[in-house]
Amino acid sequence: MARISLDLAHSYQPHPRQDSDYALLPLEMAFEDGGAYALLGPSGCGKSTMLNIMSGLLVPSHGKVLFDGRDMTRASPQERNIAQVFQFPVVYDTMTVAENLAFPLKNRKVPEQQIRRRVGQIAEMLELSGQLDQRAAGLSADAKQKISLGRGLVRPDVAAVLFDEPLTVIDPRLKWQLRRKLKQIHHELQLTLIYVTHDQVEALTFADQVVVMTRGRALQTGSADALFERPRHVFVGYFIGSPGMNFLPARMEGGRLDVAGHRLQIPAGRALPAGGLQVGVRPEYLALAPAQQPGALPCTVSQVQDIGTCLMLTAKVGEHTLKARLSPATRLPSAGDTVWLQVLGEHTCFYRNEELLA
Ligand SMILES: Nc1ncnc2c1ncn2[C@@H]1O[C@H](COP(=O)(O)OP(=O)(O)OP(=O)(O)O)[C@@H](O)[C@H]1O
């Protein structure tokens, strides 16, 4: 295994001139040995480009890729000792499940006995033990993709295993199970796993560290908790969570804080600089408050939905919409009612130019 560090940028164009010409803007980051990472972001943000640069399928147009401090920028995937699992199954139909799983080990001339042991272990982890002697040809797409996952995980000596949206073809019911299984496999095998997805649930279930990306930028790398509690960029606040973070325009002037046109008391212990700000608060932390309570705003209810585990309240403060997750025990307001929502509190984040300030 290896610590993989990147200090690079990539453009598919020969003469990039502006930020939009880059699939990856200049970034510096490291993937620690044995970690479980996810690269998360919307389509086209640069996830596959970053993965392919790590695997050696793509040479970055600028900068370097280091494995344990060694420059591997131009090394092939074989030289890097990387295993990859793609969106669609890569299996040999004429081989049995066991032969497919053994293939990467046979290629490396691993002794037969060790191969049998490792194939047995991986098959058991992925619940393929009962199908080891079956030919891959007759298997379902789910089972074939499980074989691909197994082939990625079977070598104990790889620098890292890279997964590019590996659960796309998997049936939704099995998807949930496999996500958890991969997490468990990570704990058992202690391999470095890097997993590309645009699905936040997939990323947050699987990974210890999630890299949130947009438009060629890696905005924040953090645990599920850090990304939820302290998004360092408004995009992270908006992209993580369901629904995402609420944002309201604010302004500090002459030591006074104005949020969406209302004067509010600055929360204790927060020093805010003068000028324009954005206030970010998660729907989970917006609570109903008594009228005129410090830090609360009067809002007009647009909609209340009972979504089982909670009530989802949609309300307007001026032209701005807020979403609040309220406990099911809450007395139900009706559309058109005025309610006070506690916007400022210990979980509230303040942003300037989209970056977290406090
Ligand atoms: N071979 C290529 N040649 C030119 N441009 C490319 C190439 N591959 C990707 N791009 C562009 O680079 C940007 C990043 O693409 P990339 O595939 O890395 O994003 P992604 O986050 O993996 O998206 P998706 O989830 O849709 O696969 C996009 O604007 C894409 O159009």
For each successive 10 residues of the chain (358 residues), what is the average pLDDT?
Answer: 94 96 97 96 96 96 97 94 91 95 94 96 93 94 93 92 91 85 87 93 93 97 97 97 97 93 88 95 96 95 90 96 89 90 95 93
Q: Among the atoms of ligand 1, which is closest to the Cα of residue 41? A: 21
Q: Among the atoms of ligand 1, which is closest to the Cα of residue 216? A: 14
3-state secondary structure of 330: coil
Quick one: pLDDT at residue 232?
97
Are 202 and 345 in the same domain? no
Are 43 and 132 in the same domain? yes
Q: Among the atoms of ligand 1, which is closest to the Cα of residue 24? A: 14
Are 148 and 89 in the same domain? yes
Number of domains in the chain: 2
Quick one: pLDDT at residue 287?
92
What order of strands is seen across the sheet that includes strand 287-289?
Answer: 287-289, 338-342, 296-306, 311-317, 320-326
Q: What is the domain extent for residue 294?
A: 244-356
Quick one: pLDDT at residue 171?
87
Are 252 and 271 in the same domain? yes
Rounded to whole angstroms, what are the CA distances from 65 to 24, 54, 76? 14, 7, 12
Last residue of a domain, one of 192, 218, 237: 237
Where does residue 173 fall: left (phi above 0), alpha (psi -120 to 50 degrees), or beta otherwise? Answer: alpha
**Residue 334 · residue 257 · CB < 8 Å:** no
Last residue of a domain, one of 218, 237, 256: 237
Are 224 and 262 in the same domain? no
Quick one: pLDDT at residue 105?
96
Alpha-carbon span 272 to 285, nearest angstrom: 21
Report ipTM for this prediction. Answer: 0.98
Are 110 and 130 in the same domain? yes
CATH of the domain at 324: 2.40.50.140
First and final C-alpha spacing in the chain? 37
45 lines ligand 1 (CB under 6 A): yes
User: Atom 17 (ligand 1): residue with closest C-alpha?
Assistant: 48
Are 268 and 143 in the same domain? no
159 lines ligand 1 (CB under 6 A): no
Are 326 and 342 in the same domain? yes
Length of the chain, in residues: 358
Going by the DSSP 8-state scheme, the letter that residue 266 receives in this structure is P
Give one DSSP letter per residue of 86-125, joined into a string. -SS----TTSBHHHHHHHHHHHTT--HHHHHHHHHHHHHH
168 lines ligand 1 (CB under 6 A): no
Give one DSSP letter per residue of 275-305, joined into a string. EEEEEEE-GGG-EEE-TT-TTEEEEEEEEEE
User: Atom 11 (ligand 1): residue with closest C-alpha?
Assistant: 23
Are 184 and 263 in the same domain? no
CATH of the domain at 58: 3.40.50.300
Are 94 and 63 in the same domain? yes
- Residue among 334, 333, 313, 343 at smallest CA distance from 325: 313
Are 223 and 294 in the same domain? no
Quick one: pLDDT at residue 177?
84
Q: Which pTM was predicted?
A: 0.93
Pocket test for ligand 1, best of 12, 58, 87, 197 (most atoms within 8 A of CB): 12
Are 194 and 306 in the same domain? no
